[in-house]
A and B are shown apart, each in its own frame.
Chain A
Amino acid sequence: MQITAEHFKENARDALDDAQLQRALSKVGDNFIGKRAKAVAALPEFEQLRAEARAIKDHTLDHLDLYLEAYEARVREQGGHVHFAETAADARKIVLDICRRVGARTATKGKSMISEEIGLNEHLAANGIAPIETDLGEYIIQLRGEVPSHIIAPAVHVNKDQVEADFRRVHTHLPPDRDLSEPVSLLAEARGVLRDRFLAADVGITGANFLVAETGTSIIVTNEGNGDLTQILPRVHIVVASLEKMVPTLDDASTILRLLARSATGQDMSVYTTLSTGPRRPEDPDGPEEYHVVILDNGRSAVLGTEYQAMLRCIRCGACMNHCPVYNAVGGHAYGATYPGPIGQALDPAIFGLEKTHELPNVSTFCGRCESVCPMMIPLPALMRHWRDKEFERALSPATQRFGIRVWAYVAKRPRLYRFATRIAMRALGNLGSAAGRFKSLPLAGGWTRHRDLPAPAGRTFMDLYKAGRGRA
């Protein structure tokens, strides 16, 4: 996709003015948040599982080279193929080469954010292979020529009447007078249209929620069953997965599975959790004849062993964005990079480079809800803060902003000067604003007062009040 993260402010303004989008977003937050809270409350061991899950991933990441080798050996023993891709371009080439070798004309696809990250659909289409998204949400946005606006609910920004219009525009072989007024009729139509595509596809491409080293297994988690039809019907199954999907054992995968659906949709367990190991066996009556796993690095190994490593614990549940006030206000497209919301603000700079994405770590109120709900206990605000430091070091932010921060740092590092300066400023602002109790405009604070009033300070600083209050306790 085109990275437009540097235009976040413009994107956000457009998003706030987009009535359709705001209508769709109004249904997001409460739904996900309420369901998650209910599911978590029903499992007393949830906090303990979180701590264990974090430990599992930390251990795996600390030994990632060895687990990758163990995993690869198991896949090979079962007759599968493992391909390592250093970059997005490498991964695209590996997938395209497989498709070409088997003479594929169409490829069905299960929902995969890695596929979005590497721009796989455009690449396949440009080379004469039709990619067919089969997750309902992904199918809708493919028809619309869009990218996902949420990592587990890709079409969350689209309203029902828009879906109806898209289906009427594309499914021209169906009677024009059919009733599509209800979601259930839209779902039935998509099921019918896609069923034929499933049965005709030459290659099926899925992502992976986990790669299990113990057994050489890839695991996908879906509710629709589309990922399964994608991988059991075509002759070739290709899994695209980033290297941090690794877990050591089935027991470890089970622990994290107990967190995944609860954090994502508030289900105890998603409908289909599917473990795939190698190609079909000689006695099997169904399943793919070839099984390939493409393991993608794309910037992740550079994060290992650094203060950013915790982002690789992410299991892509989407809880951080569901709980984010910024995401809920502007939706996923405004972020302008593959991964929206708080996890994207931590991850996108590592994948797409800070130069193109340095606005993202700043798009946060640091309210901390993302970290508090993250099943893998990823310190998202801290990761964003690290990126802000890097942004400053590399002089990526505007010169005036950096100058302001330098001035601030100079004053803040000198407590006497700081107290003196704030005492004068608070007194002046307190006097000036005492009548109205607020400022409608203020020099140098236009960015704030353009959108809301600035409450007038009380006239005394915290330190003054603290000193005065001493001895009273």
Chain B
Amino acid sequence: MSGRGTVLAKVRRALGASADDTVRKSAVAARLESPQPNTIPARGQLDREGRVALFRKMAEGVSATVEQISSDDVPSAVARYLRGHNLPLRLRTGADPAIAKLPWDREPHLERLEGASDGRDVVALNHAFAGVAETGTLVLLSGPDNPTTLNFLPETEIVMLSADDVAGDYEAVWRRIRERHGAGALPRTVNLVTGPSRSADIEQTLLLGAHGPRALHILVVG
């Protein structure tokens, strides 16, 4: 018998599953067809302003930096951040139209490269699908618009997040993804990012910049 057949048969036998298993099957089908949220912490259940304020507080609490600006100001905010941190004025982004349509011509010295990263980029800019106020978490989806490598290879990650996209909780984001991608479907990779990379594996000393970005700068737009 195949590994599959053996393992599933052992599980069924252990659970005492009968051949006519309609009750168990309908319980599983119902749960998968209409996913229901469990208890959602009250912490994030706020109005738009409240969610943005909580998102900012929580993200800063995990060593991200946050700036609130209008969308036209993204190129100059990026350039200002790079100059302020003594970083080259070069940036990698995906093909996201929300990034492409920004007034990049206002920062003629800022070079913007498009596509996935091969590990040589120092700074990346991605556009988050959502933010989660509850824990200051960014939600980023893979694809040509915002390649996943941009979230991990560059030393500095800048993320643009629309204030309208800051949800109170993860469940609200799953609802939005289900609406966009259809029931039961997700992009290849969904990254929930809460602060810059870190490790406490040496004597439990918390250090930023393990394998992912050393710095995470979030531009909350609008």
CB–CB A225/B188 < 8 A: no
A308 CB to nearest chain B CB (Å):
11
Q: Interface residue count for A (Cβ, 8 Å)?
A: 104
Indicate if A177 sits at the interface (CB-CB under 8 A).
no
Alpha-carbon distance A268/B196, docked complex (angstroms): 14
CB–CB A45/B194 < 8 A: no
Alpha-carbon distance A211/B202, docked complex (angstroms): 30
Indicate if A24 sits at the interface (CB-CB under 8 A).
yes
Give the contact stretch, choosing among B6-14, B77-85, B100-108: B6-14
| Complex interface: chain A residues within 8 A of B149 (CB) | 232-233, 286
Indicate if A382 sits at the interface (CB-CB under 8 A).
no
Residue of A nearest to B63 (CB): A271
CB–CB B10/A302 < 8 A: yes
A158 CB to nearest chain B CB (Å):
8
Indicate if B203 sits at the interface (CB-CB under 8 A).
yes
Main secondary structure of the interface of A (DSSP, over half): mixed
| Complex interface: chain A residues within 8 A of B198 (CB) | 223-224, 271
- Interface residue from A225, A272, A277, A297 paired with B7 (Cβ < 8 Å): A297
Residue of B nearest to A111 (CB): B201
CB–CB A224/B7 < 8 A: no
| Complex interface: chain B residues within 8 A of A254 (CB) | 37-38, 169-171, 174
Indicate if B109 sits at the interface (CB-CB under 8 A).
no
Alpha-carbon distance A225/B153, docked complex (angstroms): 9
| Complex interface: chain B residues within 8 A of A28 (CB) | 204
Alpha-carbon distance A250/B207, docked complex (angstroms): 31
- Interface residue from B16, B151, B185 paired with A305 (Cβ < 8 Å): B16
A287-B14 contact in complex given A45-B41, A85-B3, C-beta closer than 8 Å? no
B131 CB to nearest chain A CB (Å):
12
- Interface residue from B24, B153, B189 paired with A276 (Cβ < 8 Å): B189
CB–CB A191/B210 < 8 A: yes
A to B contact number (C-beta, < 8 Å): 277
Alpha-carbon distance A267/B146, docked complex (angstroms): 27
Indicate if A142 sits at the interface (CB-CB under 8 A).
no
Q: How would residues 260 to 294 of chain A score, 1 for a CB under 8 Å from any chain B CB and 0 otherwise?
A: 00000101111111111111110111110000000
Alpha-carbon distance A208/B30, docked complex (angstroms): 25
- Interface residue from B15, B25, B190, B213 paired with A274 (Cβ < 8 Å): B190
CB–CB A250/B204 < 8 A: no
| Complex interface: chain A residues within 8 A of B16 (CB) | 305
A356 CB to nearest chain B CB (Å):
22
CB within 8 Å of A: which of B163-221?
A: 169-171, 174, 184-205, 207, 209-213
Indicate if B113 sits at the interface (CB-CB under 8 A).
no
CB–CB A67/B28 < 8 A: yes
Indicate if B74 sits at the interface (CB-CB under 8 A).
no
Give the contact stretch, choosing among A182-190, A328-336, A389-397, A419-427: A182-190
| Complex interface: chain A residues within 8 A of B195 (CB) | 271
A74-B194 contact in complex given A68-B11, A160-B202, A224-B210, C-beta closer than 8 Å? no
CB–CB A280/B188 < 8 A: yes
Give the contact stretch, choosing among A99-107, A112-120, A213-221, A410-418: A213-221
- Interface residue from B3, B6, B38, B152 paired with A251 (Cβ < 8 Å): B38
| Complex interface: chain B residues within 8 A of A233 (CB) | 149
A108 CB to nearest chain B CB (Å):
11
Residue of A nearest to B132 (CB): A269
| Complex interface: chain A residues within 8 A of B24 (CB) | 62-63, 66
Indicate if A130 sits at the interface (CB-CB under 8 A).
no
A303 CB to nearest chain B CB (Å):
8
Indicate if A15 sits at the interface (CB-CB under 8 A).
no
CB–CB B39/A49 < 8 A: yes
CB within 8 Å of A: which of B16-67?
A: 16-17, 21, 24-25, 27-28, 31-32, 35-39, 41-43, 58, 62
7 contacts between A and B (CB under 8 A): A49-B38, A74-B184, A158-B202, A225-B211, A248-B28, A271-B212, A304-B14
**Leading 8 A-B pairs by shortest Cβ distance:** A225-B212, A224-B210, A137-B201, A249-B35, A304-B14, A275-B190, A273-B192, A301-B10
Give the A-binding residues of B (Cβ under 8 A): 2-4, 6-8, 10-12, 14-17, 21, 24-25, 27-28, 31-32, 35-39, 41-43, 58, 62, 94, 115-119, 134-135, 137, 142-144, 147-149, 151-153, 169-171, 174, 184-205, 207, 209-213
Known: A84-B3, A224-B210, A284-B142. 5 other contacts (CB 8 A): A68-B7, A188-B209, A268-B62, A285-B147, A287-B142
